[in-house]
């Protein structure tokens, strides 16, 4: 992993937050996951992104 990977993980985290917001507003289970589950995915991706950024700086 390098800085590029951490940026990708952070970008995916932001995307997961956007999917969570969309799911919460329109009540469509995107890929079978509820909005709160998408928030958990975003949290995990953000934690890994921050860890990767700290490790490779």
Number of domains in the chain: 1
Cα gap 37→52, rounded to integer Å? 23
Cα gap 9→53, rounded to integer Å? 10
Cα gap 49→45, rounded to integer Å? 6
Question: Mind listing the pLDDT tens digit for each residue in 1-57?
Answer: 678 999 999 999 999 999 999 999 998 888 899 999 999 999 999 999 999 999 887
Residue range(s) defining the domain that contains residue 15 = 3-55
Helices 3-26 and 35-55, axial angle in degrees (round to 10):
170
| 38 and 30 Cβ atoms separated by less than 8 Å | yes
């Amino acid at each position: 992993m390098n800085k590029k990977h951490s940026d990708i993980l952070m970008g995916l985290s932001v995307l997961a937050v956007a999917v969570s917001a969309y799911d919460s507003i329109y009540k469509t289970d995107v890929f079978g996951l509820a909005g709160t589950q998408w928030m958990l995915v975003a949290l995990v991706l953000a934690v890994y992104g921050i860890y990767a950024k700290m490790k490779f700086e």
